[in-house]
């Protein structure tokens, strides 16, 4: 006996209504797009947007991209090229801020479509695929960072997600996965340790060590046309550490008996250790966990950094994802670097860090639970048998 009641005579159990679910999800997408569109008309001049105008001005004046932007540009030349193209929208009466906002909405829409494709391939469920896409596109963290802050971090993680999509093809498209990871570093090298996850001997994608180093070679090669600016590149790109906010391991910098480079050394050690520990974890989950570890041990931080795990987390959302989204949303509402609502009870910089700690611990628990399930039984099946 399972304790379940049998349906009453003459009454039928309701069949699933996926069409209704899809319609509700479509309404959710329309609402999310409408909210995101508001940022086209209400955009404060955040630090990122000021930087983009300075970069375009330097390019138009034929000045040095790295020396003359004065710490405003800390990436490979690719994003500067995108800004140069977007600046052409001014001829149509658009501001650069609006052009950037529209571009980033398009990037987020493409990311949502890619999420739907990956989840559809995994589950063959149209509703689950669309729900994952909506979970990202309607996520307030994603909307605020892309729309209000004008930050392009989601653009870099689109290519990390694309690498996951190629890695999960059967057989895995290893070359395409390497190319996508290379583009991620070219856009913005925030997923700096992630190419090392490609070097797997047993788990897919089976890419050797040399293949995993290709994205780093491509990233370094992108600076060759700017060889004359190598001193500025070394200082502004490779020496950049974000803002010195009271976050994470930043207080180590002020411990008198520790050298000033201690936070960066801890960050690098944590990233390499995470890559080693995640070598047998499924590639998509490994990318998510490595992103969380990266955020946990960052030696410097900015409010836009908190969008990094949002797309990857939407693939398999859980309690950790929900808690993180809620805490970071409240932080961005409160932060003067984002929305700037002055309310003392909203979380400060420590809030997102502790939310990451919780999410990491939750994912470790979930990974242990999955490994406890026999190889011949899926976690879903195990849950059903336990319920019975």
Does any domain span residue 15? no
Contact 114, 158 (CB under 8 A): yes
Residue 60, judged by CB atoms within 10 A of its CB (0-12, 13-18, 19+), counts as: exposed
Does any domain span residue 8? no
pLDDT tens digits along 335-386:
877 777 777 678 888 999 999 999 999 998 888 888 787 555 544 444 444 3
What torsion, rounded to 10 degrees, do the Cα atoms 261, 265, 271, 274 define? -140
Number of structural domains (the chain) is 1
Cβ neighbours around 38 below 10 Å, total:
12
Domain span at residue 346 reads: 39-373
Tell me the Cα Rg of the chain. 22
Does any domain span residue 77? yes
Does any domain span residue 30? no
**Low-confidence residues of the chain: pLDDT under 70:** 1-17, 41-44, 201-202, 344, 374-388
> Phi and psi of 301, rounded to 5°?
-145, 160
Residue 198, judged by CB atoms within 10 A of its CB (0-12, 13-18, 19+), counts as: buried
The answer, as to whether pTM is greater than 0.85, is: yes
CA distance 91 to 261: 46
CA distance 151 to 259: 32
Does any domain span residue 359? yes
> Phi and psi of 320, rounded to 5°?
-60, -40
Tell me if the bond preceding 205 is cis, omega within 30° of 0: yes
- What pLDDT is stored for residue 201 in this prediction? 66
CA distance 165 to 160: 9
Structure token digits, residue 36 = 């995101």
């Amino acid at each position: 006996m399972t304790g379940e009641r049998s349906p009453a005579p003459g009454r039928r159990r309701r069949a699933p209504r996926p069409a209704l679910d899809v319609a509700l999800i479509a309404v959710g997408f329309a609402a999310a797009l409408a909210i995101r569109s508001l940022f086209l008309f209400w955009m404060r001049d955040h630090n990122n947007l000021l930087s983009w105008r300075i970069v375009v001005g330097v390019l138009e004046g034929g000045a040095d991209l790295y020396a003359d932007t004065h710490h405003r540009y800390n990436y490979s030349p690719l994003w500067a090229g995108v800004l140069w193209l977007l600046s052409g929208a001014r001829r149509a009466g658009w501001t650069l801020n609006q052009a950037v906002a529209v571009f980033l909405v398009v990037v987020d829409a493409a990311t949502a479509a890619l999420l739907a494709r990956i989840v559809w391939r995994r589950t063959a469920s149209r509703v689950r695929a669309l729900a994952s896409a909506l979970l990202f596109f309607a996520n307030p963290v994603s909307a605020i960072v892309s729309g209000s802050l004008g930050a392009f971090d989601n653009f870099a993680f689109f290519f990390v997600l694309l690498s996951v999509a190629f890695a999960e093809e059967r057989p895995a498209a290893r070359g395409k996965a390497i190319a996508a990871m290379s583009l991620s570093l070219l856009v913005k090298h925030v997923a700096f340790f992630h190419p090392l996850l490609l070097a797997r001997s047993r788990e897919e994608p089976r890419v050797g060590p040399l293949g995993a180093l290709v994205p780093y070679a491509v990233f370094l090669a992108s600076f060759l046309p700017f060889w004359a600016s190598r001193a500025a590149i070394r200082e502004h790109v490779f020496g950049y550490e974000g803002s010195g906010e009271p976050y994470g391991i930043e207080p180590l910098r002020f411990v008198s008996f520790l050298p000033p480079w201690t936070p960066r050394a801890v960050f690098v050690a944590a990233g390499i250790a995470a890559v080693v520990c995640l070598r047998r974890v499924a590639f998509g989950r490994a990318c998510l966990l490595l992103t969380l570890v990266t955020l946990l041990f960052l030696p410097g931080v900015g409010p836009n950094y908190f969008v990094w795990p949002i797309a990857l987390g939407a693939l398999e959302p859980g309690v950790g994802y929900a808690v993180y989204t809620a805490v970071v949303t409240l932080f961005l509402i409160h932060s003067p670097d984002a929305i700037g609502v002055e309310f003392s009870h909203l979380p400060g910089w420590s809030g997102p860090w502790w939310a990451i700690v919780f999410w990491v611990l939750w994912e470790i628990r979930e990974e242990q639970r999955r490994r406890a399930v026999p190889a011949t039984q899926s976690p879903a099946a195990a849950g059903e048998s336990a319920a019975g």
